[in-house]
Structure 1
């Protein structure tokens, strides 16, 4: 999750402090449509697996907690 948080801070230089795991990343505009595919690429790189966009919904990317559960937990 450290790489994900670092990426979000890089994309949002005005962001101070840690990102709450339940903060809505999309509503808070921490991820926008221009960065979305790069975010998916980052998750694929971290997890070592491909993300099939037909098998996910926007809610799978909404919070850090959900991202961890859906893409980065060992029991996927």
Structure 2
């Protein structure tokens, strides 16, 4: 996967977050999505499914390590890296 493809996929995830938080204009790559409540308990499962869809990687909810999806940088490293 090229850097451009990875960036486009991260942008899809970022757009999903920003669509749910109209008061925001950006999300930092190292911003904690859970602590900042950009992803809360109500949207968590939908968020994981989005990551699956964008990455093409099946995520097992039983073995998911929350730290792998806390930031856009972690998502890129664990699910979008080549």
Name the TM tier (shorter chain): 0.7 to 0.9
Moved over 2 A (4+): none
Per chain length, whose mean CA-contact separation is higher, i.e. which structure has more relative contact order (CA < 8 Å, sep 6+)? 2
Give the TM-score normalised by structure 1. Answer: 0.88
Q: Is 1:25–2:44 an aligned residue pair?
A: no
Q: How many residue pairs are counted as aligned between the two chains?
A: 73
Deviation string, structure 1 residues 3-28 (Cα, Å, up to 9, x no partner): 00000001111112x21111111111
SS at match of 2:62: helix
Deviation of 1:55 (Å): 2.6
Runs of at least 5 residues in structure 1 that lack an aligned partner in the other structure: none
Distance, in Å, in 2 between the alignment partners of 1:48 and 1:58 is: 18
Runs of at least 5 residues in structure 2 that lack an aligned partner in the other structure: 1-9
> 44, 47, 58: which one pairs with 1:50?
58
Deviation string, structure 1 residues 43-67 (Cα, Å, up to 9, x no partner): 1111112101233211111111001
Which sits farther off after the overlay, 49-58 or 31-40? 49-58
SS at match of 2:22: coil
